[in-house]
Amino acid sequence: MNEFRSQLGGVVRDRAVLLTSALIGVFLWGLCALITANVARGYGAGQTTDVAMGYLYSYVGRSGYLLPFLIGVLVATQMFRHHTVARLVFYGSSRLRMYTNQAGSGLVVALIVAAVVVLGGVAAIAGVLTAIGEETALDDGTYWLMSLRTIAVFALWALIGFGLGMLVRNQVAAVVIVFVFAMLIEPTVTAICNESERMQRIGQYLPGGANWSAVWPVEAGSTNTSEMVQAGLSWQGGLGVLAAYAAVLLMAGYAVSLRKRDITA
């Protein structure tokens, strides 16, 4: 437990993690308020549909996964950036325990950040709806469950980022990979997969499609988005696919960066 507390303290004090969480979190809250105002004004007073509410309350989960992804990468690569790997292994009881402690520290920080960002996003949406005279719909448990699933999804993205960071090791390169994936590769591949039924079946198992299914699953019988990559799985299936990606990357990160490598940094 002392080893975990020590590594958790190092993660919490990391300026890159703190600044990234604050900047992107506040940015997401601002986007929630702006998008809510635009969407709600497109409907008549008191006529905002359930689909629109689902779109709003799932926004942070659908678009904000970049934040926990970055947190995971920063937590993994901070050891190499600060050259503390050898010291952590030397003072720890084993390489595996040091690795799980660092991943666990990143998970704890990601869960706290996720809870703050998601609940702040809900508050921003509800505040704007109330200000323009609309119902917040928060008496419906559907949207609270959507928020809870978003927190779970963010935790899995943090673990995915941690595994990626352990594989890449260079912090700048890993951060660039995250931005290229989130802003270029994922949207492009998803758009391509939506062009044919065969590609849709494949694309729904990609991280972006699974993320969408987990935070905003399509209800049975819905026809507007059910044939798209983003809505191919149930929310349980989406979480399961993301968990599988996290497990594979965590195991690969440990094998490549610690288990089979001489520690010199």
Yes or no: say if 109 and 17 are a contact pair by the CB < 8 Å rule.
Answer: yes
Between 141-168 and 95-131, two packed helices, what is the crossing angle to 10 degrees?
140
- What separation in angstroms does the CA of 137 have from each of 5, 49, 116, 147? 40, 10, 20, 13
Position 192 scores a pLDDT of: 85
The residue among 92, 57, 108, 93 whose CA lies nearest residue 217 is 57
Burial environment of residue 6 by CB neighbours within 10 A (0 to 12, 13 to 18, 19 or more): middle
| pTM given for the model | 0.89
Yes or no: say if 69 and 153 are a contact pair by the CB < 8 Å rule.
Answer: no
Q: Which two tokens stand for residue 31?
A: 């986007």
Position 231 scores a pLDDT of: 62
Q: How far apart are CA 15 and CA 21, in angstroms?
A: 10
* Helix residue ranges per DSSP H, 204-234: 207-215
Position 197 scores a pLDDT of: 76
Position 71 scores a pLDDT of: 95
Domain range summary for the chain, segments of one domain joined by +: 3-259
| pLDDT tens for the chain, residues 1 to 265 | 777 888 888 888 889 999 999 999 999 999 999 999 888 877 766 666 778 888 899 999 988 999 999 999 999 998 888 787 777 777 777 888 889 989 999 999 999 999 999 999 999 999 999 988 888 888 888 889 999 999 999 999 999 999 999 999 899 999 999 999 988 998 888 888 877 777 778 888 889 889 988 998 766 445 455 456 666 788 899 999 999 999 999 999 999 887 766 666 5
Query: DSSP per residue over 87-100, as a string?
Result: HHHHHSS-HHHHHH
Burial environment of residue 220 by CB neighbours within 10 A (0 to 12, 13 to 18, 19 or more): exposed
Angle at 109 between CA 125 and CA 76, to 5 degrees: 125
The residue among 153, 109, 86 whose CA lies nearest residue 16 is 109
